[in-house]
Amino acid sequence: MRVNNVVTKMNAGEMAYGANLSFPSTTMIELSGRVGFDFVTFDSEHGPFTVDILDDLCRVADMAGLTPMARVPDIEHPTILRFLDRGIMGVTGPHITDGERAQKLADACRYTPRGKRSFGSGRGAYFGDFESGPDYMSHTNDNILVIAQLEDIQVLDNLDNILSVEGIDLFTSGAQDIAQSMGLPGQPNHQRVKEFEAKVRDAVHAAGRKMAEDVMASARAANLFLDGARAFLNSR
């Protein structure tokens, strides 16, 4: 059964590296595997990723030795289930503002007794082709990575409740939406935004939890091309 590269490296105290795609591209996924990345993330909150496309993207990621992950458009259980059933092994839930939403995200991502994920037989579950259902469910639970995105000013009022949810593995930020929630649209580098992020990061660490940036780093696939192309043009 598939193993989550990020979880494996995290447990070994190592950093994992990957590419973040805001557009579907099987070629970019294949290239990411060739250069030695550990994972690829699909920004399905903002990108055009349909369920049928995700099936093929996850299939190529598996063949390239990459762990497929996604930021989902919402944290409703049916939405997340469709991603997991395609083969997604890491889920980032946007706009986690309180403990209730954090628990909802966690419950959607894992099977009982650690969550409330529905059991299906899509490609993410090997089309039902496994010897032991309990072994499959336990292994899958151990290899799903759940990330809560804290990107709203309300988070500061609910940090303790959010951090008390055991089913969340990592936490991440979102400077653009933090800025908007503070009445600072288009100013992700504003000092107030940076102070918010620092306060959240310190609270996460004080609780013995980890930020995503502590264990994984990703480059935007679009920027890998844009920055490389500009460097090439500037060298002429």
Residue type, 172: T
In this prediction, residue 84 carries a pLDDT of 97
In this prediction, residue 236 carries a pLDDT of 85
Q: What is the pTM of this model?
A: 0.95
Catalytically annotated residue among 46, 77, 190, 205: 46
Domains, the chain, ordered by start? 5-234 (3.20.20.60)
Active-site residue 46, yes or no? yes
In this prediction, residue 229 carries a pLDDT of 94
Q: What is the pLDDT along the chain (236 residues), one digit of tens a residue?
A: 999 999 999 999 999 999 999 999 999 999 999 999 999 999 999 999 998 899 999 999 999 999 999 999 999 999 999 999 999 999 999 999 999 999 999 999 999 999 999 999 889 999 999 999 999 999 999 999 999 999 999 999 999 999 999 999 999 999 999 999 999 999 999 999 999 999 999 999 999 999 999 999 999 999 999 999 999 999 98
In this prediction, residue 209 carries a pLDDT of 97
Upstream peptide bond of 113 is cis (omega within 30 degrees of 0)? yes
In this prediction, residue 51 carries a pLDDT of 86
Partners of residue 146 on adjacent β-strands: 91
Residue type, 96: I
Sheet with strand 145-149: strands edge to edge:
210-211, 170-172, 145-149, 90-93, 67-71, 39-43, 16-21, 216-220
Sign of the torsion formed by the C-alpha atoms of 175, 181, 183 and 185: positive
Q: Convert the chain into a string of H (helix), E (strand) and C (coil).
A: CCCCHHHHHHHCCCCEEEEEECCCCHHHHHHHHHHCCCEEEEECCCCCCCHHHHHHHHHHHHHCCCEEEEECCCCCHHHHHHHHHHCCCEEEECCCCCHHHHHHHHHHHCCCCCCCCCCCCCHHHHHHCCCCHHHHHHHHHHHCEEEEECCCCCHHHHHHHHHCCCCCCEEECCHHHHHHHCCCCCCCCCHHHHHHHHHHHHHHHHCCCEEHHHHEEEEEHHHHHHHHHHHHHHCC
